[in-house]
A and B are shown apart, each in its own frame.
Chain A
Amino acid sequence: MKNAFLFAAALALSALAACAAPLKINGSTTVNLPVAEAAEILRAEQQMDIQVDTQGGSAGGISMLGDGLVQVGMSSKPVSAEDRARYPAVQIQETHIGEDAVALIVSKDVWGGGVKALTKGQIKDIYEGRITNWKDVGGKPQRVAFFNKEPGRGTWEVFVHWVYGSPKAAPQVSFPEVGGNEETRNKVAGTRGALSQLSASWADGKKVFALGIQMDDGTIVAPTNENIATKKYPLSRPLFILTKGEPAGAAKTLIDFLLSDRGQELVKKHGYLRLKDLQ
Chain B
Amino acid sequence: MTRAWSWFFSVVALATLAFLVGIFVWQSVPVWQHEGASYVTGAKWFFREKEFGALPMIYGSVVVSIVALVLAAPLGVGAAVFTAEYLPRGPRLAVKVLIELLAGVPSVVYGLLGILLLRDWIYALFAPFDLLSGDTLLTAAVLLAVMILPTIVTLSDDALRAVPAAQRRAARALGLTRAEAILHIALPQARRGLSAALLLAMGRAVGETIAVFLVVGRQDNNLPERLLSLRPLLESGQTLTSKLGSSETNIGYGDPLHWAAIVGLGLILLVLTGALTVLGASVRRTSHA
Contact = CB atoms under 8 A, between A and B. Distances in A.
A binds B: yes
Interface of B: 26-27, 46-49, 115, 119-120, 123, 130, 132-135, 217-222, 236, 246-251, 253-254, 256, 259
B251 A152 contact: yes
Contacts of A179: 246-247
Contacts of A47: none
Contact of A152 (B130, B221, B250): B250
A83 to B, nearest CB: 8
A59 B251 contact: yes
A153 B115 CA distance: 22
Interface of A: 1-2, 55-57, 59-60, 63-64, 66-67, 86, 143, 145, 147, 150-153, 167-168, 172, 174-179, 186-187, 190-191, 193-194
In this complex, which of B115, B130, B135 has the most chain A Cβ atoms within 10 angstroms of its Cβ?
A: B135
Contacts, number: 82
Given A1-B27, A190-B119, A190-B120, A172 B48 contact: yes
Given A153-B247, A172-B49, A174-B220, A86 B134 contact: no
A163 to B, nearest CB: 15
A190 B135 CA distance: 11
Nearest to A175: B219
A57 B247 contact: yes
A60 B259 contact: no
A176 B48 contact: no
B56 to A, nearest CB: 9
A177 B246 contact: yes
Contacts of B134: 190-191
A86 B254 contact: yes
B49 A150 contact: no
A64 B253 CA distance: 10
Contacts of A194: 133
21 contacts: A56-B250, A57-B250, A63-B254, A143-B130, A145-B133, A150-B218, A150-B246, A152-B248, A152-B251, A167-B48, A172-B49, A176-B217, A176-B218, A177-B217, A177-B219, A177-B220, A179-B246, A179-B247, A190-B120, A191-B133, A194-B133
A56 B247 contact: yes
A108 to B, nearest CB: 15
Contacts of A178: 218
B122 to A, nearest CB: 12
A172 B254 contact: no
B251 A151 contact: yes
